[in-house]
Chain A
């Protein structure tokens, strides 16, 4: 399987897309597939401080309930409210409309601790 080349990936199967000082966070297509039909996501609060690899929410599928781990530290500036009514967007478009939150990065150097698309593809192979 191949993954978008412009993203960074964590071992916990979250992705980050960096645009200037902000980053968008979501879960990967691999995670979405493993979870099965996602029925609920508990979003972080705007203004919450996330720390890299700390939990920041919960995703619930018909099979399991899993914590969401922040791939990067930062302050939440926006959450994907659309997931409230349509959590299945995380299954159908995990790298696009299924995004979870946007954060203001506190330490961009943390990106170095994440994988690129090829490394993540190898990790999930």
Chain B
């Protein structure tokens, strides 16, 4: 049975109407190299055989015993209540329906998420969430272009390289120019964005400066001075932050950031390849109409009872069509609920303990490697919970340690050749002293 409702004659008429020779011609823009070739679909299997095959594939996964890998994704304790709440059928299966207002529980959970993100970032309004940190960052830059009516975006080289690639893709369509503000990556350098260099790179037609706190290399950036530089050029500051760090670092609202973007994964979402993760975005109320995506507002019904609505929908695609603030019409609701549950479960004190323990363990890790004469900090300045270390023969030893079930961090030379023979190592509250001892021992063995 064919699942296609169209006959060959229908297809010919449609192709003729749009002046295309064949269905294949519709895919002419997709490079041949990435197109699917002939499908080699094996014969059907029984359920028992499928289970055996999946078990065999799963057996090839290598779960590290010890990991210092961060680079944008962090392994934190996820309290059991998070899985319990997001596993509830009301949340796990329900998509925000049209009409969304019939789902008051879903809207309330999103409203609470937005309130928590505002409290965490010190900003006035937060969206209902985005796909991930990279897309939230790209959307924030495009929002800055709409707000300033400018078409050039400056990005610190301290922003996650993956985010920068996504940003460049987002900017390529509307013709927004992306310029990179270099950071001092030299041995013993600051590892951070120099405000004077940033000011020089901004020019008088820049929509925003995008900078990360902490930056990709774990270093703390002079955000207040970067905000001043951006504002001095008539542009905005987009702060890309790590959410747990906000429990001990100054919130973006305190250093005059205009838009905040973040990856929400550290808030109750396990580290897993491909996600799902959740993007966070917050801004000033004056910028609310240019925010992308959904916003839930609280209001009162005719009888004075509290209720929740999707508000300011005119910005969205289903009303303003091609003039919408963004092509985003939805949010990452279940992962936003995970973050909401996590933040509620750990509370302000718990989050502070997570941030403090993570940064304490990162210092223990750095000191242990230095004391053993195995590595030293690449940069001056200070860092949060991830640290760039100069390590002789880093690439070879990273591979050798992986064979022993130890992931000794991320290899920055993948993105920055200048950072050859360095490792980017992350610690969290799950990093034990024993983990650190095993790393030291394994690095010793590969000298």
Contacts and interface: CB of A to CB of B under 8 A. Distances in A.
Contact of B314 (A45, A60, A67): A60
A108 B289 CA distance: 35
A65 interface: yes
Nearest to A62: B314
A58 interface: yes
Contacts of B40: none
A30 interface: no
Contacts of B149: 45
Contacts of A60: 314
A53 interface: no
Contacts of A40: 289, 314
Interface in A40-66: 40, 42, 45, 58, 60, 65
A67 to B, nearest CB: 8
Contacts of B320: 58, 65
Q: Majority SS of interface residues in chain B?
A: helix
Contacts of B9: none
Interface residues of A, number: 7
Nearest to B320: A65
Interface string B309-326: 000001000011001000
Interface in A1-60: 40, 42, 45, 58, 60
Q: Which of B149, B289, B314 has the most CB of A within 10 A?
A: B314
Nearest to A67: B323
A40 B314 CA distance: 10
Interface in B310-360: 314, 319-320, 323
Interface string B406-444: 000000000000000000000000000000000000000
Contacts of A45: 149
A40 B289 CA distance: 9
A65 B289 contact: no
A118 B319 CA distance: 34
A66 B374 CA distance: 65
A52 to B, nearest CB: 20
Contacts of A67: 323
9 contacts: A40-B314, A42-B289, A45-B149, A58-B320, A58-B323, A60-B314, A65-B314, A65-B319, A67-B323
Given A40-B314, A60-B314, A65-B319, 8 more contacts: A40-B289, A42-B289, A45-B149, A58-B320, A58-B323, A65-B314, A65-B320, A67-B323
